[in-house]
Amino acid sequence: MGLETALGHSFLTTRLDEAVNWGRKYSFFQYPFVTACCGMEYMSTFASTYDISRFGAEYPRFSPRQADVLFVVGTVNEKLAPVLKRVYDQMCEPKWVVSFGVCATSGGFYDNYATVQGIDKIIPVDIYIPGCPPRPEAVLDALIKLQEKVGRESVLDRKYR
Amino acid sequence: MTSYLLDTLKSRFPEAVLETHAFRGDETALIKKEALLQAAAFLRQELGFDMLMDLTAADYLPREPRFELVCHFYSTTHNYRLRLKCPVEAHDAAVDSLTPLWAGANWFEREVYDMFGIKFNGHPDLRRILMYDGFEGHPLRKDYPLKKRQPRMLHKD
Ligand code: SF4
């Protein structure tokens, strides 16, 4: 990024990490890549009952260029796989991926010719949410886990292109 | 049980109708595939079947004829339903397209072509509809391996 890259792991970078990560983890902009029934549960997590904005992640951006977290919500089939890869590639660093539901995680019960057997065959995944569909609580739990994960990162970890 | 629809169809196409059955008002005629287009035109023009509800196929491997084309017709004016089935051999898997009669047959036939590899003569645009370009084989055929996966395609703009 700048000066801290030259200094390496030092007091300055750890302080900077804390400030940067605090900003990142409480202001996720997500790109919802919603393809199937899990989308209903995603919407419910967003609606007022579960209210994901309490965790600072209230803002879905429907442009990958403005998003930090890619939520892959639902079944991804072979025809769509190149599109998902393209969307991921269009996102700017730093970026994270959440695999929402068993279909995105492993293909679920769609063990057939048409379905990708887990999106990690195409793109790297940070958090997997089990369930068919997952309950909103599980989604919030995943979001908190992602925040913890982001909190452990260092500004030196990511490669900026 | 006598059925007006099946009796009419049989008397009109005595050669082509192979078999008929009716179960609780669910009328079905098995018909030679050469006569399908004619019979469908008769249903549409004379008997008022103005709607093609569904067109699909089934694979009865290892039976010969292997495939069966299944068409469901509905008449919105008379509230009649009728099912026509055509045996289709694997070595000559081609049937006349119903697109001249019902424009809606277009995508149904593309789906049958995609999934079973049955061709439709006279179809205006017989391409795959569900699977992607570059996919090989027809996945709903019974001899398509259950665990077979095909190479993933690259994104095309
Ligand atoms: S995991 Fe279940 S609810 Fe979610 S997309 Fe798959 S089938 Fe639908």
**Cβ pair A91, A70 in contact under 8 A:** yes
Q: How confident is the model at residue A1, as a pLDDT?
A: 54
Residue B64 has pLDDT above 70, yes or no: yes
pLDDT at A69: 92
User: Would you say residue A160 has pLDDT above 70?
Assistant: no
Pocket of ligand 1 (CB under 6 A): A 36-38, 74-75, 101-103, 108, 132-133
On the 0-12 / 13-18 / 19+ scale of CB atoms within 10 A, B128 is middle
Q: Identify which of A142, A160, A153, A159 has the alpha carbon closest to the alpha carbon of residue A9.
A: A153
Cα–Cα nearest to B93, from B25, B141, B49, B147: B141
Q: Per-domain residue ranges for chain B? A: 4-121
Ordered DSSP codes for B90-125: STT-EEE--TTT-TTHHHHHHHHHHHH--EEET-S-
Q: Which domains does chain A have, with CATH numbers?
A: 28-151 (3.40.50.12280)
Superfamily for B4-121?
NADH:ubiquinone oxidoreductase Nqo5 subunit (3.30.460.80)
Cα–Cα distance, A133 to A25 (Å, whole number): 25
Whether residues B153 and A113 touch (CB distance < 8 A) is answered with no
- Give the number of other Cβ atoms within 10 Å of residue B59's Cβ: 20
Would you say residue A154 has pLDDT above 90? no
To test ligand 1's pocket by mutation, which of A119, A132, A139 has the most ligand atoms within 8 angstroms of CB?
A: A132
CA distance A115 to chain B (A): 9
Q: B154 and chain A: CB distance < 8 Å anywhere?
A: yes
Q: Does A112 touch chain B (CB under 8 A)?
A: yes
Per-residue confidence (pLDDT) for residue A2, from 0 to 100: 62
pLDDT tens digits for range A35-84? 999 999 999 998 889 988 888 887 888 888 989 899 999 999 998 999 99
Half-sphere exposure of B153 (CA within 13 A, CB side): 15
pLDDT at B150: 84
Placement of tokens 């057939």 in the chain: A112
Position A103 confidence tier, pLDDT thresholds 50, 70, 90? very high
Concatenate the DSSP letters of all residues of A62-81 into one string: SSGGG-SEEEEES--BTTTH
Cα→Cα distances B108→A93, A113, B27, B43, B118, Å: 44, 20, 21, 19, 12
Provide the pLDDT for residue A159: 59
Do residues B32 and B48 make contact, with C-beta atoms less than 8 angstroms apart?
Answer: no
Token readout for B89 is: 């051999």
pLDDT of A14 over the 90 cut: no
CA atoms within 13 A on the CB side of A131: 18
Cis peptide before B62 (omega within 30 of 0): yes
- CA–CA separation, B10 vs B17, rounded Å? 6
pLDDT in tens, A117-126: 989 889 999 9
Q: Could B152 and A82 be called an inter-chain contact, meaning their C-beta atoms sit closer than 8 Å?
A: yes
- Higher pLDDT among residues A156 and B53, named by residue: B53
Minimum CA distance residue for ligand 1 atom 4: A38
The angle at the Cα of B46, spanning B43 to B51, to the nearest 5 degrees, equals: 45
Mean pLDDT of chain A: 87
Q: How far is CA B56 from CA A7, A126, B67, in A?
A: 67, 42, 10
Residue A40 C-alpha to ligand 1 middle, in angstroms?
10
